[in-house]
Amino acid sequence: MAPDATPRTPASEAITAWTPKLYSDSVADFTRQVVTACSPTSPARARALIHSLARLAAFAQACGLALSSETVLATSTIERFLVSSARRYSPATLRTVATNLRAMRRRLIEADRPDPLALPRERAKAPYSPGEIDHYLALAAAQPTLSRAMRATALICLGAGAGLTGVDLRHVRGSDVRRLHGGLVVTVAGCHRRRVPVLARFHGPLKPAADYAGEGFIVGGVDRARKNITSGLVASLAGGIDLPPLDMRRLRSTWLTSVAETIGLHAFMDAAGVDCSQRLGDIVSHIAPVEEELAVRLLSGAK
C-alpha cells in the first residue's frame, strides 16, 4: 500500500474528526476540503475555521449557490451572510466569523493578488509649547503694518485659542468674536456651524484684533470664497531657526491639548480604560448637550 501523501498533523486530525449533525453531508465535505486547503496550524484554529465556514456554506446551499470556493467565499456571499445573520449571532460571534471567512478568502481566492496599499494613518500634530505661542504673538505684534499685525494676531489666537483652521477662518468676521457669559466666544459659519469658547489666555490680544476687523473678515480679504487665506500670514510669521514653522494643524492641536488638560481628559480615559476616540463619540451620543454658559466657563480655561 502506498504511503499517504498528506502528512497527519493535529490540525488535520481535528478536521477529519469533525462529524457535524446540523449540516448536510455536502456542506460537511466542502467544509473539510476548504479548511484543509487553508492549512491551519493548530487544532483550535482548524475548528474555528470549520465552524465559521460551515455556517457560510449552509447559507450558500440554502440560497441555491454552488458549493465551490470561488462562489461560497465570494465577497458578495460573505457580506450577504453577515447581514442576514446579524440577529442570529451576537456581535462578538459575528465579528469572529467575519474575520475567519475573510482570512480564508485571502488565503484561497486572493493569494495571487497584491496586498492592498497600506495608507498611513494621519496622526495628530504635536502642540506648540506656551513659549512658542508667546513668540508667535510677539512676531504678530511686530508686523510692519497695523492691519497685518491685527490679522496675524487673530490667526494665532483663533488657531491656538479656539482650534479654528483655514476653512473655519474663511468665514469669521471681527463681529463674530464677542463677549458672552463672562468669556469670549467666536461664531463659526460654513459647513461646521458652531460657537467656540476662546481660551482665556488669548482674550487680551484677540479682542482688539476683532474690534479692528469689525464687519470685515478677521484674517483679511473681501470674498467668502477666497482661497489660501492663511498662507501669506503664515509666511510673515517665520521666526528663523529658533522657532519652528507655523502650522495651522499644530495650532489646532495646541488648542485641543489645552482643552483636554482643562477638562481632565487624560484622567478620565485612564480611569475608564478608554483608548479610542470612536468610543468617546459613542459615549457623547448618549449625553445631553451642555448649556452654553457652562461650556464657556468650562472650555475657556479661566481660573
DSSP 187: E
pLDDT at 240: 62
The reply to whether 1 falls in a domain is no
- Do 165 and 91 belong to one domain? no
The reply to whether 114 falls in a domain is no
3-state helix, strand, coil in the chain (%, to 5): 55, 5, 40
pLDDT, one tens digit per residue, over 289-302 is 888 888 888 888 76
Q: What is the pTM for the complete model shown?
A: 0.60
- Whether residue 265 contacts residue 298, with contact meaning beta carbons closer than 8 Å, is answered with no
Q: Which DSSP string do the residues of 128-145 spell out, in sequence order?
A: PPHHHHHHHHHHHHT-SS
The reply to whether 170 falls in a domain is yes
Number of CB atoms found within 10 A of residue 228's CB: 9
Domains in the chain, number: 2
pLDDT, one tens digit per residue, over 22-31 is 899 999 999 9
Tell me the residue range of the domain where 55 lies.
Answer: 10-108
- Do 167 and 250 belong to one domain? yes
Q: In this model, does residue 39 exceed pLDDT 70?
A: yes
pLDDT at 220: 82
- Do 136 and 35 belong to one domain? no
The reply to whether 162 falls in a domain is yes
* Strands ordered across the beta sheet of 177-180: 177-180, 183-188, 194-197
pLDDT, one tens digit per residue, over 183-219 is 999 999 877 889 999 999 999 999 999 999 999 999 8
Task: Specify the CATH number for the domain of residue 197.
Answer: 1.10.443
Q: Which residues contact 200 (CB under 8 A, 6 or more apart)?
A: 183, 300, 301, 302, 303
Name the CA radius of gyration of the chain, rounded: 30
